[in-house]
Amino acid sequence: MTEFAPVSSSGHLILVPWLFDWPILSDPELNKTFDVALHIGTLAGALVYFRRDVARYISAWVGSLSTRRIETRDQRLAWALVVGTIPAVIVGATLEGFITDELGQPWLIAVMLVVFGIVLYVVDRVSSTGRHLDDITVRRGLLLGVAQALALQPGVSRSGVTMTAARAMGFDRETAARFSFLLSLPVIAGATIYAGADLVGEGMPPGMTVPFLAGIAASAVSGFLVIAFLLSYLRRHDFAIFLWFRVAVAAVVFGVIATEVRSATI
């Protein structure tokens, strides 16, 4: 449910097992297996929802390659998505080990939840809403891609930071959310292929088949429903509910750390 909501799915995938003391965090093989399941599921749910958009943009991109020109709105959006994916790929490939080993600490995730939740809310409140999907250019797609790369830090939220950047550029909330979701598809697909290749080579851990399939099904259904909900919700509401949710989660984390129920680090 948190994959597309602006509340940081990567942060929640660390905080929940940390809070309940599940062994998945200390088992890299198990963690990787479940990450693949969730990536497959969320990608499937998003592709089902955006199937017409994806088919249209792929066709437009191929057409643009053949003519070596960007002539239509769909071609411009397709190239914006392609170019916007590059920063996350570069940062992810360069800093994967550092991100995994150093940036996934519960206390840091809680700080990022609060800081970037406030930034999202404030930027949304002060920004105009004069730009729509037709106004997305390749250059703006690249800038939104740079913002997306920041979300490799758990707690920031990929969808949240790209929505923040889009609102700062003056795009309306629905456009900000729609482009954020579309921009996530190549990144999720890449992560699925990358981690999935390792899983195929190493084999699935014993007893993981049923949890693996359950993870795929749960993330596919919840991802689809959250996308549909958010696109409808943001036509009429601001991001306040997500700010308060992020603050509440952070408060729980700090409370658990302060009472020494769990350590601030993993």
* Residue 106 in tokens: 């519960």
Note the maximum CA span of the chain: 63
Q: Give tens-digit pLDDT for 160-181.
A: 999 999 999 999 999 999 999 9
Residue 31 has pLDDT above 80, yes or no: no
How many beta carbons lie within 10 A of that of residue 1, not counting itself?
15
Q: Which residues contact 188 (CB under 8 A, 6 or more apart)?
A: 39, 42, 43, 46
Q: Which residues contact 24 (CB under 8 A, 6 or more apart)?
A: 17, 30, 31, 34
Rg (CA), the chain: 19
Q: Give tens-digit pLDDT for 201-213.
A: 777 777 888 888 9
pLDDT band at 32 (very low <50, low <70, confident <90, very high): confident
Please give the pLDDT value at position 101: 67
Please tell me the distance from the alpha carbon of residue 76 to that of residue 141, in angstroms, as a whole number: 9
Residue 147 forms part of a structural domain: yes
Residue 136 forms part of a structural domain: yes
Residue 36 forms part of a structural domain: yes
Residue 96 forms part of a structural domain: yes
Residue 187 forms part of a structural domain: yes
pTM: 0.91
| Domain ranges, residue 191 | 28-102+117-240
How many beta carbons lie within 10 A of that of residue 62, not counting itself?
11
206 three-class SS: coil
Of 123, 120, 161, give the one whose Cα is nearest residue 247.
Answer: 120
Which one has a higher pLDDT value, 91 or 58?
A: 58
Share of the chain above pLDDT 70, in %: 98
pLDDT band at 11 (very low <50, low <70, confident <90, very high): very high
Q: Give tens-digit pLDDT for 60-116.
A: 999 999 999 999 999 999 999 999 999 988 887 787 667 766 778 999 999 999 999
Of 170, 174, 242, 169, give the one whose Cα is nearest residue 6.
Answer: 242
Residue 179 forms part of a structural domain: yes
Please tell me the distance from the alpha carbon of residue 56 to that of residue 70, in angstroms, as a whole number: 15
Residue bearing tokens 């840091």? 108
Number of domains in the chain: 1
Residue 247 forms part of a structural domain: no
Please tell me the distance from the alpha carbon of residue 94 to that of residue 247, in angstroms, as a whole number: 31
For the ranges 30-44, 105-119, 176-190, 240-254, which has the lowest average pLDDT? 30-44
Residue 266 forms part of a structural domain: no
CB 124 within 8 A of CB 238: yes
